[in-house]
Structure 1
Amino acid sequence: MRLLPQSLLVLTGLAITLLPAISRAETKPTNGVLVEAESFNQHGGWKLDTQFIHIMGSPYLLAHGLGQPVADAETTVKFPETGTYRVLVRTKDWVAPWKAPGSPGRFQLKIDGQPLKETFGTKGAKWFWHDGGTVEITKPEVKLTLHDLTGFEGRCDAILFTRDLNYQPPNDLSPMDQWRKSMLGLPAEPEVTEPYDLVVVGGGYSGMGAAISAARMGCKVALIQNRPVLGGNGSSEVRVWAQGLVRRGKYPHIGEIIAEFADSAAASPGTYEEYGDKKKEAIVRAEKNIDLFLNTHAFAVKKEGDAIQSVTAFNTKTSKRTEFRGKLFADCTGHAEIGYLAGADYYTHDKGHMGMSNMWTWKEAEQPQSFPDLEWALNLNMDDFPYPKRFHGEWFWESGFDKDPIQDLESMRDWNFRAVYGAWNAMKNKGGKDKHENAVMTWMAYIGGPRESRMLRGDVILRRKDIVAKVDFPDGCVPSTWSIDLHYPKKQYMQKYPEDPFISQAVFDRSVDRKRGYPIPYRCFYSRNVPNLFMAGRCISVTHEALGTVRVMKTGGMMGEVVGKAAAVCVEKDCQPRAVYTDYYKDLEKLMARKGIERRDTVDGKFYTPENSQELPPVIDPYIDPATLPGMVIDDENENVQFVGKWTKGEGLKGYIGNHYVYHGKGKKAEIHFKFEVAKTGKYEVRLAYGHHENRATNTPVTVRSADETKTVKINQRIKPPLPHGFISLGTFEFKQGQPVEVIMSNTGVDGNVHADAIQVLPVD
């Protein structure tokens, strides 16, 4: 475990720039041409991969063809002069770290249609400049083509043509280092924006929530996302369905913004259409206070004293650099990348952390579908992995539990590739081949879905014990309704590759109230040592265990909504995020009480609701809190309730009291005993709550038994109870102070299911 204060420089008042901890290249530029693969005019079937820039220094193109060679990527290159050039291609043999045979990522580089003799992707366990030999350039403009040979994850970062035939380019590159800028002819300084009120980095649910919320509160916002789509793990690229309940708790309007764009996936991974990438982008672009920057990767931070002054980013297709200045910043990157670069305190759970998933789908075609027998994939048989039901390889295809959660991300993703292809090989060519002759893989995520990496430190570090004990923080505001859900390797599938398991299991702690939610404190949403830095999503101030409940997308999105509103308070009051809690929390509460569709054009403007806005219908809670009802209410999960027989818990019939109701069929004896005592002698009405249904009994016996009286009534539970909240009266009784009373429901002689929810005891005047 590491608890690292990243106080990289503490020179108050001095502007400093912080870059990733990748060694700087000292080699001087050469006479030649550098072509970034991501800048190709046509990517063809190659995918732009930006998720490992912090590791290897650049975006790259990936031939993600599921075993079918992808269409060529093409571009035109102008040369300053003709002559002999040495060609070097930055690439790797992606299975070489495991000494696996076969080099699946093979590809060719063609110059004006003629392939170089060297085949790339066949050497190097790490990224390096693969020497492609020399070539004669006889005209000022040539066509370059990346030609995939396998469809199995070939990758190309850049191509260098150099007139110095002995030149060796630097390999340990940081994003936009001096060598790369010089070779590309980029300006010495980036373009600088006017100051924004809030700069949000990361376009997942938390980033979208922060940006939209702040914009509607009147802030001028920059939203920076290094992918071509919004949604993060909840986009069509990763396809993790959004979980966590919204619009509940103390501030029931929090979550209304998330409800506008949340996916409609019925399961994870789901289909492309269910994730609504275009809808998400349209909602963001409709906000006139947001400037959206897709395909833009933030890689450096500039500070004045402890505070962030700006974030510098580059376009992942054109390499154009922009410095985004701002008053406030929100780290919604998931990996806490901005906080890390800014020297924010953070924590990582080094060993036994949750890993990365790459889900996949398949179908049965009408005709037989061949698939090569893969020597480089994991050597799996049908009993080495869970059979992918419903044509899905689901969330549990997860690895990297003991790897570095930042520096080993590419290795995690590539191991997942080997695992999935190994399972598919088993289905197609080994034990499953007779059953799956027509099966074809239809999709696999090449963008990994990580669950845990850095967690920034705020003024409160939320812990599991706080959640279990239901500690009532005064600034609790975002309801977390997901169980404490931690992932571990599943022992059943660890035998063959125990050093790096690839199938996980979820271990749930159900201490969280999954209907009402546990309110996460606002003080978890800003950095304790970088004064103008907010955070939202899975990089907030929590422990490893507490992350298990707060990390799902809709919950992260609501964090973003609160951050956006807090940013508006900061701008209006000219203060920093901490002061919102210490001095202006009532102002934040007023904003959190407003509807998600309400807005103002500036932070000092008047609120209004756009004419074309549609209000969401109110949330109808499926449950009734027993504490809100008059009299004495004893719910079915009260400690004074005793069960005879095995009763089933249910939540399907809405309007129940507490967390659920219980029911039992006819046959084997079953009883439920509600026990209580009254505090004062007198007359009391006793009521029973149940949920009516056509399969219920028409003759359910219910007995009220006290020291002085026993009365049994039979209830037709197919008929709706006549009293509010699903109650029916069992009669009025004389009870004495301190004497035990029981209400007993039985299934003796019934003609259907019996159903019990709660009893209510009301004094009669």
Structure 2
Amino acid sequence: MNRFFLLLLVASLLFSTANVAEAQSVLVEAESFSDHGGWKLDTQFITEMGSPYLLAHGLGRSVDDAVTEVSFPETGTYHVFVRTKDWVARWKAPGQPGKFQLIVDGQALDTTFGTEGEQWSWQDGGTIEIDSKTAKIALHDLTGFDGRCDAILFSKDATPPPNGSEILPAWRRKMLGLDEAPTEKDGYDLVVVGGGYSGMGAALSAARSGCKVALIQDRPVLGGNGSSEVRVWAMGHIRRGKYPRIGEMIEEFADKATKSPGTYEEFGDVKKEDIVRAESNIDLFLNHHAFKVETDENRIVAVHAFDTRTSEQKRFSGTQFVDCTGHGTIGFLAGADFEMTPEGRMGMSNMWAWGEGKEPVEFPETPWALELKMEDFPYPRDHHGQWFWESGFDKDALGDAEGIRDWNLRAVYGAFNAMKNEDGAEQHKTAFLTWIAYIGGPRESRRLMGDVVLTKEDIVGKREFKDGCVPSTWSIDLHYPKKQYAKKFPENPFISIAVHDRSVDRSFGYPVPYRSFYSRNIENLFMAGRCVSVTHEALGTTRVMKTCGMMGEVVGRAASVCKLHSCSPREVFEKYWSEMDALLKLPGKAHRASVDQEFTVPADAMELAPERGPEWIPRAGRSDKKLRGQVMDDQSATMTGKWTPGSGVKGYFGFGYAYAAADSNAKIVFETEVRKSGKHRIGILYGVHENRGTSVPVVVNANGESTRFVVDMTKSPGSDDQVYPLGNFELSKDQKVTVEISTENAGGMVHADAIQLLPVK
């Protein structure tokens, strides 16, 4: 009995000691600083390391201090621990680019932080005397090269805190004084997680259809890859096909950028937010990270999220949910069936831009970046590092996204160092960095499986589905490391090449079925965006922003049917497709306050687009069925420079043609795969006119060789089918053939209509 009481006394003393130590400790989350200064709030990697953090992303120039005021329980000596990392240490790179100081009441601690550890950990900062119960603390960046701070602990105890990667573990919640129970947010008909194009489309569509919507976004801005943070311009045609009203909501907020990356202003973050906040049926939760899902058998009951600035937790309950995270995160947490291609996955992009001044500008040496010369990367013409700055192919896009982003940063800084301090120095004396995306632009990870798993064969073969509704007009565009630039860093190349299968109808589009937009085993889960039910190859055409946004529009309409009939997403197709069909034909701005009311169409609703879309040129002249062999239209080709669509010169193939001025540095590339082995006549189709070029350069790339031609487009081709014959070539099935038409020294306007591969005996 005495022994029992002794053990009880020891336990009581230990508990009391722990409570005293905890009471004499102060945890400061970096994201909660009252003034972030020039530091950026980075929320991308919470699932990896457990927390948001502040990032000193200054492009090589130290950023302004982040500052806040801290209250202490008592004065005295405190041990200081800062959770951070040396972000290049994992590659054993020389130098420590992420260095920063902690300043307390104007006094910098002796320790320089961001200098230890490959992984996130608590760096010991020694001790400091606290003379007052309040103190002003600051994070002081020393480099501008992406130093990072998660949290700061002041403690009377010399023991560092736990270093797990759990999200808001119990000890942090207790130290921060957070309630155990989350704040309840209920009564939603649709909870949308993810605020990119697909999430915005879903939220707007559902709200205007009479549903009460929660839109949860982990960033301070909407748009996802199409925001000013990532700056991928919006691709994919909208407002065409069977449902030409789909895409009208996307048109309201889609960027009008002329280059990728575009400018901050072109992406209209404020406009996006204003459009969402104008909807009374939407509750918008920016800076909220969804991290937990409650389920009951095969249904989602609630999603838990926390405020990335204050750590306050909220519980969002609703009837239907939609995963617009791009990574299938909500579906994964709910136990939804998913796939992730094991090899050949696309990577993450971090684009960048640079400018030129009148005076020389210095740039610090970057020994810790990738060691590059000018020949090791494509020259960033037009002052832009474009979409092909991409790495992380087949790397862990879910468990090591931070590593992928950081490798991208090392590549960009290494390239600019080559421009400024190596073999490009003489040419770039006045060059300076203007922007680098620290928010990654991911292209591929999990895909959630629906009742239809759309395949490349479905798209190319134009398989008809009763519920085909979202027109996908992008080619099947898959990215791989570009061999030319992969030699120096074969373990992780950083420049990609886009391989296009141009079998997709890029004008009319292929209608993606609704049954790819809901989970086959979680009965109240929709999905829209990159994580829909498609194969890896089909993702290549469905993943672009405007197409993803239209998926959201369809899901939002379907959610209103679910609300009206208390049914599942599957039952929308099985029982109520006629109602869904009618909803998809409504103008984008049509709205109703609740699902049991009639729709109102406002006066500023868009005019109905032609069936093939607003850019469609009515068919005239030749029918594509009358041109024999394998034919590729100009609308499926890749154009650089300024090309103008035309239809005035009759006899064209398909929906029109394109033309460009001589010496305008424009080029059009037709790339196709040979369908059948044998000898083929390769020819080009153009419209004869007196203003056309007399010496248009054309290059055929086949069998590993380039053959050059000069074509006089003022003269008739002279063949029965009006195709100008370039020559006969022995070709193999599945071989790639390209035909390039350019404007250099063309002697007049260059006309590009189509190419033909015609089997000959």
TM-score by length of 2: 0.82
Q: 1:608, CA displacement in angstroms? A: 0.6
Structure of greater Rg = 1
Contact 1:328 1:533 in 2 (8 A): yes
Q: Bigger CA drift: 32-41 or 579-588?
A: 579-588
Is 2:431 the counterpart of 1:435?
A: no
Question: Are 1:280 and 2:276 counterparts?
Answer: no
Per the TM alignment, residue 660 of structure 1 is displaced from its structure 2 partner at its CA by: 4.4
Cα distance in structure 1, aligned partners of 2:632 and 2:50:
63
Q: Distance in 1 between matches of 2:234 and 2:423?
A: 35
Paired residue type of 2:459:
I
Q: CA deviation at 1:194?
A: 2.3
> Which of 560, 571, 585 is the matching residue for 2:577?
585
Q: Check the 8 A contact 1:222/1:293 in 2, yes or no.
A: yes
Partner of residue 685, structure 1: none
Residue of structure 1 in register with 2:65 after alignment: 72
Aligned to 1:447: 439
Task: Give the partner amino acid of 2:654.
Answer: G
Cα distance change on mapping 1:169 and 1:589 into 2, 3 Å:
same
Q: 1:353 aligns with which of 332, 345, 361?
A: 345
Measure, in 1, the Cα distance between the counterparts of 2:750 and 2:87.
61
Residue 123, structure 1, aligned to residue 116, structure 2:
yes
How does 1:143-222 map onto structure 2 within 5 Å? 143-165=136-158, 167-222=159-214
Residue 623 of structure 1 deviates from its aligned partner by 3.7
Q: Deviations over 1:4-57 (max 9, x none)?
A: xxxxxxxxxxxxxxxxxxxxxxx9983311100000000000000000000000
Is 1:472 equivalent to 2:464 in the alignment?
yes
Q: Give the drift of 1:376.
A: 0.5
Matches within 5 A, 1:514-663: 514-611=506-603, 613=605, 615=607, 619-624=613-618, 633=623, 637-639=627-629, 652-654=645-647, 658-661=654-657
Letter in 2 for 1:139: S
Distance 1:641 1:193, change over 3 A: closer
Q: Which residue of 1 aligns with 2:31?
A: 38
Q: What one-letter code is carried by the residue in structure 2 that aligns with 1:414? A: D
1:499–1:321 distance in 2 versus 1, CA, 3 Å: same
* Preserved CA contact (<8 Å) 2:299 2:524: yes
Alpha-carbon RMSD across the aligned residues, in angstroms, is: 2.9
CA 1:654 to 1:33, structure 2 compared with 1: closer, same or farther past 3 Å?
A: farther
Most deviating of 365-374 and 208-217:
365-374
- Which residue of 28, 50, 59 corresponds with 2:43? 50
Hey, what's the Cα distance between the residues in 2 that align with 1:430 and 1:36? 40
The Cα of 1:178 is off from its aligned counterpart by 1.2
Query: Match for 2:74 among 69, 81, 87?
Result: 81
SS in 1 for 2:645: coil
Look up the match of 1:255. Answer: 247
Aligned-residue offset at 1:227: 0.5
The whole-number CA distance in structure 2 between the counterparts of 1:607 and 1:597 is: 10
- 1:169: Cα distance to partner? 1.1
Quote the Cα distance in structure 2 between the aligned partners of 1:301 and 1:753.
60
Asked if the contact 2:239–2:609 (Cα under 8 Å) also holds between the matched residues in 1, the reply is no
Q: Which residue of 2 aligns with 1:481?
A: 473
User: Cα offset for 1:168?
Assistant: 2.6
Q: Which amino acid aligns with 1:589?
A: D
Equivalent residue of 2:539, what SS? helix
Measured after TM superposition, the shift of residue 432 of structure 1 is 0.3
Distance across 2 between alignment mates of 1:560 and 1:747: 45
CA distance in 2, matches of 1:199, 1:141: 41
In structure 2, give the amino acid aligned to 1:488.
Y
Alpha-carbon distance between aligned partners in 2 of 1:81 and 1:255, rounded to the nearest angstrom? 59
In the other structure, the counterpart of 1:341 is: 333
Instruction: Mark the CA change 1:62 to 1:694 in structure 2 (over 3 Å): closer, same or farther.
Output: same
Deviation at 1:690, TM superposition (A): 9.9
Q: 1:232 to 1:664 in 2, by over 3 A?
A: closer
Name the aligned partner's letter for residue 38 of structure 1.
E
Give the Cα separation in 2 of the matches to 1:554 and 1:485.
15
Instruction: Write the distance in 2 (CA, Å) between the matches of 1:204 and 1:539.
Output: 12
Q: Is residue 2:405 matched to residue 1:405? A: no
Contact 2:185 2:315 in 1 (8 A): yes
Listed one character per residue, the Cα deviations across residues 405-436 of structure 1 (whole Å, up to 9, x for unaligned) are 21110000000011000001100011000000
Q: Match of 1:512?
A: 504
- Aligned equivalent of 2:215: 223
1:402 Cα shift? 2.1
User: What CA distance in whole angstroms lies between the structure 1 residues aligned with 2:64 and 2:752?
Assistant: 63
Specify whether residues 592 and 648 from structure 1 end up closer, same or farther in structure 2 by C-alpha distance, changes over 3 A only: closer
Shift of 1:84: 1.7
Sequence identity (%): 62
Change over 3 Å in CA distance of 1:607–1:102 after alignment to 2: same
Q: Does 1:136 align with 2:116?
A: no
Paired with 2:127 and 2:749, the residues of 1 have a C-alpha distance of: 83
What SS does the corresponding residue of 2:420 show, helix, strand or coil? helix
Q: Separation in 2 of the partners of 1:45 and 1:82?
A: 30
Tell whether 2:88 aligns with 1:95.
yes
Aligned to 2:309: 317
SS of 1:652's partner is: strand
In 2, distance between residues paired with 1:71 and 1:425?
23
2:688 is aligned with 1:695: no
Q: Do the aligned residues in 1 keep the contact of 2:100 with 2:141 (CA within 8 Å)? A: yes
Cα shift readout 1:409-466 (whole Å, capped 9, x = no counterpart) = 0000000011000001100011000000110011000000000011111111111121
- The answer (yes or no) to whether the contact 2:289–2:308 under 8 Å persists in 1 is yes
Structure 2 unaligned regions, length at least 5: 1-17, 662-684, 694-712, 726-746, 755-761
User: What is the CA–CA distance in structure 2 between the aligned matches of 1:660 and 1:267, rounded to whole Å?
Assistant: 24
Amino acid at match of 1:505: I
Distance change in 2, residues 1:202/1:639 (3 Å): same
Following the alignment from structure 1 to structure 2, what is the Cα–Cα distance between the partners of residues 642 and 570? 43
Q: Report the Cα distance in structure 2 between the residues aligned to 1:433 and 1:757, rounded to whole angstroms.
A: 43
Matched-pair contact (CA < 8 Å) for 1:597–1:615: no
Change in CA separation of 1:439 and 1:633 when aligned onto 2, cut-off 3 Å: closer
The Cα of 1:179 is off from its aligned counterpart by 1.5
| Aligned: 1:374 with 2:380 | no
**Distance in 1 between residues matched to 2:59 and 2:385, nearest whole Å:** 14
Q: Supply the distance in 2 between the matched residues of 1:621 and 1:518 (Cα, whole angstroms).
A: 16
Match of 2:258 among 261, 266, 277: 266
